């Protein structure tokens, strides 16, 4: 089984069935909802995936990358920053719409409508297209939308996603109503809400989101530290 663990906000840990360990958007140090710190990933990690450059997605990425030597998978622009400014050696840049077959599975970068600033030391001048990820892991297609508005592009994901991780916080991303419309376009088996409840502007009731989505898709509300296993 593959394991998907939520660490609060938009941070997800994935351990694949054969033991490859990934983290998506590691935001732990300043994340009031996280139950772990960045040290949790520093002993062993294989891949860091970054949807975009905002602080609440990349805060702990650079330290984790330098301590583990993990491979960064992100936009070509964020990978260029990691290589040029940080001297990080293992980077695999993708452009929006492009994918690559990694040893653990396929990663495709998907569109997101959001901001492109890179909140990192020496990151001025790196304007980075925001995105999401469509992962093929074993039998499961896992879509992490990243920070995004509801987009018409989501209709192209119809019946191509088994589990969709969608932001519902509103203010910076889709709110519950738009995320429910996204779920209705994509038609995944399961929807996992994220990017809510971290700070007052993105306070949401996930049970209200559930009432907007079910029974078309199942809504799985993960508390920080909780794991969902899938094939």
Sites of contact with Ni ion (CB under 5 A): 54, 147
Residue 19 backbone class (left: φ over 0; alpha: ψ -120 to 50; beta: rest): left
Give residues in contact with Mn ion (CB under 5 A). 56, 147
Q: Which of 191, 170, 171 is nearest to 182 (CA)?
A: 191
Provide the minimum distance between the beta carbon of 6 and Mn ion in the complex, in angstroms, as a whole number.
Answer: 15
How far apart are alpha carbons 89 and 92 in whole angstroms?
10
Provide the minimum distance between the beta carbon of 119 and Ni ion in the complex, in angstroms, as a whole number.
Answer: 9
Closest to Mn ion by CB, 46 vs 56, is: 56
Closest to Ni ion by CB, 46 vs 59, is: 59
Which residue minimizes CB distance to Ni ion? Answer: 54
Asked whether the beta carbons of 100 and 71 are under 8 A apart, the reply is no
Provide the minimum distance between the beta carbon of 60 and Mn ion in the complex, in angstroms, as a whole number.
Answer: 14
59's contact among Mn ion, Ni ion, none, with CB below 5 to 8 A by partner kind, is none
Provide the minimum distance between the beta carbon of 129 and Mn ion in the complex, in angstroms, as a whole number.
Answer: 15
136's contact among Mn ion, Ni ion, none, with CB below 5 to 8 A by partner kind, is none
Closest to Ni ion by CB, 107 vs 128, is: 128
Closest to Ni ion by CB, 75 vs 190, is: 75
Asked whether the beta carbons of 48 and 69 are under 8 A apart, the reply is no
How far apart are alpha carbons 137 and 104 in whole angstroms?
7
How far apart are alpha carbons 74 and 56 in whole angstroms?
15
């Amino acid at each position: 089984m593959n394991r998907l663990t939520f660490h609060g906000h938009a941070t997800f840990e994935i351990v694949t069935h054969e033991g490859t360990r990934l983290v998506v958007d590691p935001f732990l140090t300043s994340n009031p909802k996280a139950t772990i710190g960045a040290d949790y990933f520093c002993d062993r990690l294989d891949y860091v995936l970054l949807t975009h450059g905002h602080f609440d997605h990349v805060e702990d990425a650079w330290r984790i990358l330098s301590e583990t030597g993990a491979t960064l998978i992100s936009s070509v622009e964020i990978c260029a920053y990691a290589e040029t400014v940080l001297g990080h050696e293992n980077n695999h840049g993708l452009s929006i719409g492009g994918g690559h077959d990694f040893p653990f599975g396929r990663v495709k970068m998907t569109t997101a409508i959001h901001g492109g600033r890179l909140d990192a030391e020496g990151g001025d001048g790196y304007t980075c297209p925001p995105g999401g990820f469509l992962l093929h892991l074993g039998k499961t297609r896992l879509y992490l939308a990243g920070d995004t508005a509801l987009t018409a592009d989501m209709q192209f994901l119809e019946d191509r996603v088994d589990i969709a991780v969608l932001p519902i916080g509103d203010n910076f991303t889709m709110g519950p109503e738009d995320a429910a419309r996204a779920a209705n376009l994509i038609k995944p088996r399961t929807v996992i809400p994220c990017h809510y409840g971290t700070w007052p502007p993105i306070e949401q009731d996930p049970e209200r989101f559930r009432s907007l989505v079910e029974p078309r898709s199942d809504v799985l509300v993960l508390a920080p530290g909780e794991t969902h296993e899938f094939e």
